[in-house]
């Protein structure tokens, strides 16, 4: 039986999207969400928050999602934490690239706030069971 997913580290630079996703994950999914506005922010918060799952935007100013994930993999607390990328770029070739970067799956943007939590839960169960 997979451990119940509770703590999600969510990395997104766009405040409107941040808010919608956070509300969807907390209100609909009942998760505890630590929102980070940048890769640097995520690297700072992740060790203390000890997320069970990383949900990250791909296109961000400064450090993009792939670079952020690579750096999170260098931290003891997040070296094996499953990661999901959220992006508008969901062509098959792009999805394969994200998987090669270490993502367990990809969620397309724009996402449906009502199904985001269940989608995350479904991926979690698949990759942690």
Predicted TM-score (pTM) of this structure = 0.95
Residue 94 lies in a domain: yes
| Contacts (Cβ under 8 Å, ≥6 apart) of 36 | 9, 10, 11, 12, 42, 45
Torsion of CA 38, 13, 36, 125, to 10 degrees: -110
Residue 98 lies in a domain: yes
Residue 27 lies in a domain: yes
| Contacts (Cβ under 8 Å, ≥6 apart) of 30 | 117
Domain that residue 111 falls in: 7-128
Instruction: Give the chain's domain count.
Output: 1
Residue 1 lies in a domain: no
pLDDT values of the chain reduced to their tens digit, one per residue, 129 residues = 568 999 999 999 999 999 999 999 999 999 999 999 999 999 999 999 999 999 999 999 999 999 999 999 999 999 999 999 999 888 889 989 999 988 999 999 999 999 999 999 999 999 986
Residue 2 lies in a domain: no
CATH number for the domain that contains residue 112: 3.40.50.2300
């Amino acid at each position: 039986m997979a451990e119940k997913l509770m703590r999600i580290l969510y990395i997104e630079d766009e405040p409107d999207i941040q808010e919608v996703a956070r509300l969807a994950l907390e209100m609909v999914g009942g998760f505890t969400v630590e929102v980070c506005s940048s890769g640097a922010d995520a690297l700072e918060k992740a060790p203390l928050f000890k997320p069970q799952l990383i949900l990250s935007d791909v296109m961000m100013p400064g450090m993009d999602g792939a670079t952020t994930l690579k750096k999170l993999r260098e931290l003891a607390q997040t070296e094996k934490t499953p990661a999901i990328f959220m992006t508008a770029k969901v062509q098959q070739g792009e999805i394969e690239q994200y998987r090669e970067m270490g993502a367990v799956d990809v969620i397309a943007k724009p996402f449906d706030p009502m199904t985001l939590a269940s989608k995350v839960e479904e991926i979690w169960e698949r990759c942690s069971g």
